[in-house]
Amino acid sequence: MRQKNKWFRQNFSSILVLAAFMTFQASPAVAAGYDNALKDVKGIKALFNVSLSSAVFSNIVFWAVQNVYEDQAVKSLPEKPQIAIVFHGPAVKLLSSDREGFKMKDYAEIDKFQATLKQMKNDGVKLEVCLYAAKVIGVDPATIMPEIDQVGNGFISVAGYQAQGYSMVTIP
């Protein structure tokens, strides 16, 4: 019983986020209500600035990130959506083939997250990782997924995308 309670406490925030996304997904009235947000919008240019470290939470959140460019309301805009993701900090570890520091129970979630990123790259999403963060975190750049473009300083990428008109969404 103690192990179940401990697991629940450790995963409570992830469970709440999942419940919120499931509620959102199940409610067509909410999902279709972008009239105000997309009024006079020709296309979406979104930059996701990502530093989270949990593979479980990443899989929950990245469902919503994918939905930004897969949603029919966004697809129906005159211009094709443009999505970029820049990874910083602890998120860099989730992009590596080196599993040091993770528990074996996390491996399947990391694999699932990396598969999602591969699909997003195939969908045309720009993926970048900050090599400064990799150095600070201790991740060998050679172990980073080949689908992720490596940049010296992710903050330059963030500033550049913003200068190009991308709206930034921070995922801490």
Write down the pLDDT at residue 33. Answer: 85
**What is the longest distance spanned by two Cα atoms in the chain?**
54
Q: What's the pLDDT tens digit per position in 148-164?
A: 999 999 999 999 999 99
Whether residue 84 sits in one domain with residue 154: yes
Kindly report, residue by residue over 75-101, the tens digit of the pLDDT.
999 999 999 999 999 999 999 999 998
Contact 154, 163 (CB under 8 A): no
30/46: higher pLDDT: 46
Handedness of CA 61, 116, 112, 143 (dihedral sign): negative
Percentage of residues in the chain having pLDDT higher than 70:
81
The CA dihedral of 135, 140, 51, 62, to the nearest 10 degrees, is: 160
141 shares a domain with 85? yes
Q: What is the pTM of this model?
A: 0.81
The residue segments making up the domain with residue 4 are: 1-32
Note whether 73 and 158 are same-domain residues: yes
- Read off the pLDDT of residues 56-67 as tens digits, 9 standing for 90 and up: 999 999 999 999
What letter would DSSP give residue 119?
A: H
28 and 47 housed in the same domain: no
Give pLDDT, residue 18.
47
Instruction: Round the average pLDDT of the chain to a whole number and report it.
Output: 87
Q: What are the beta bridge partners of residue 46?
A: 83, 167
**2 and 81 together in one domain:** no
Q: In total, how many domains does the chain have?
A: 2
Is there a single domain that holds both residue 94 and residue 24? no
pLDDT of 23 over the 50 cut: no
